[in-house]
Amino acid sequence: MTLHKGSCLCGAVAFTIKGDLQAFFLCHCSRCRKVSGSAHAANLFAPDATITWESGEKNARIYSHPETRFGRSFCCECGGALPRKAADGKSLVIPAGCLDTPVEINPTAHIFTASRANWDHDLETVPMYDELPK
Ligand SMILES: [Zn+2]
Ligand SMILES: [Zn+2]
pLDDT for 99-116, tens place per residue? 999 999 999 999 999 999
Mean pLDDT of 122-129: 96
Distance from the CA of 45 to the center of ligand 2, in angstroms?
13
Distance from the CA of 55 to the center of ligand 1, in angstroms?
11
| Domain coordinates in residue numbering, the chain | 3-118
| Euclidean distance between CA atoms 62 and 53, whole angstroms | 15
Mean pLDDT of 40-52: 96
Residue 25 has a pLDDT of 98
Sign of the Cα torsion 62, 71, 52, 75 reads negative
Triad 62, 64, 70: Cα angle to 5°: 115
Domain 3-118 in this protein, CATH class: mainly beta
Residue 1 has a pLDDT of 73
Distance from the CA of 59 to the center of ligand 1, in angstroms?
7
Return the ligand number nearest the Cα of 98: 1
Residue 70 burial (10 A CB sphere; 0-12, 13-18, 19+): middle
Which segments of the chain are extended strands (E)?
Answer: 3-7, 14-18, 23-27, 41-46, 50-55, 60-64, 71-75, 81-82, 84-85, 92-95, 109-111
Percent of the chain with pLDDT over 90: 93
Q: What is the pTM of this model?
A: 0.94
pLDDT band with cut points at 50, 70 and 90 for residue 2? confident
